[in-house]
Amino acid sequence: MRCFGILLATALCSAFCGTPLHAQEPSAQGPGSVAEQYLFAAANAERAQRGLQPFHWDDALYRAAQGHAREMASRASISHQYPGELELAERGRQAGARFSSIAENVAQASTAIRIQDAWMNSTGHRDNLLDPLTDVVGISVLRRNGQLYAVEDFGHRVDDLTFDEQETAVGSLLTAATPLTLLSMPEDARRSCTMDTGYAGARQPWFVMRFTAKSLTRLPEELNNKLATGKYHEAAVGACAPRDSQPFSYFNIVVLLYP
């Protein structure tokens, strides 16, 4: 499923303006400023209390969050999108993030503690922090005139896999489901993946299954049902690039089944 969420901003105090903002450059190691470290730790503490998996830090989402935090601090206001600014999903994509869903919390306050408390006391913002399907986050906090402007960008990460890696992953699922011989025909299989119907190559498959997925941990139910018939003994797997330019990431796969 491809979707994204945006929530209304929670303004915690009045805005100030006039002095330069202060920013921490994005770090490959994780949150940079004390406020970012606090919000990251606080989010994972809340998740741990409820038996949820912790967030992993995502540098690309950090870059997206920092770009938006700069906009908020420079305007001394909070919003999820300003005139002329890209929407959240496009900001994430342009920053290099790969995700099947994305959401955002924004706030302004004098301390990170007040920001975290406000988010946890707001249903929509708390839902973002405690979403069990979200696994990565990037947090940026900028200071201006004694005020903190905070942005948390959440996502469900889609792994960055080569075509070979995608095909290997799906092949492993196929052979785990039923005894099959995997055929090595990457060019024909990948060309078949790019087609709307039919297949490429000289050998005709008995069944062709095209599907998209945000992860390669399970096969589509229709494909499992075909495998369960026991009629198929050979298979080829092809991966290809998604056909559209929308910001959400997913895998594009074809499975060719032979008797």
Give residue-wise pLDDT tens across range 185-231: 989 999 999 999 999 999 999 999 999 999 999 999 999 999 999 99
- Number of Cβ within a 10 Å radius of residue 215: 13
Give me the chain's average pLDDT, please. Answer: 88
Among 212, 217, 242, 247, which residue's Cα sits nearest to residue 98?
Answer: 247
pLDDT, tens digit, 9 for 90 and up, residues 109-119 = 999 999 999 99
Q: Are strands 10-11 and 99-109 parallel, antiparallel or unpaired?
A: parallel
- Check: pTM over 0.85? Answer yes or no: no
pLDDT, tens digit, 9 for 90 and up, residues 11-44 = 222 222 222 333 444 444 677 889 999 999 999 9
**pLDDT value at position 242?**
84
Q: Which residues pair with 240 in a beta bridge?
A: 252
Give the whole-number percent of the chain exceeding pLDDT 70. 88
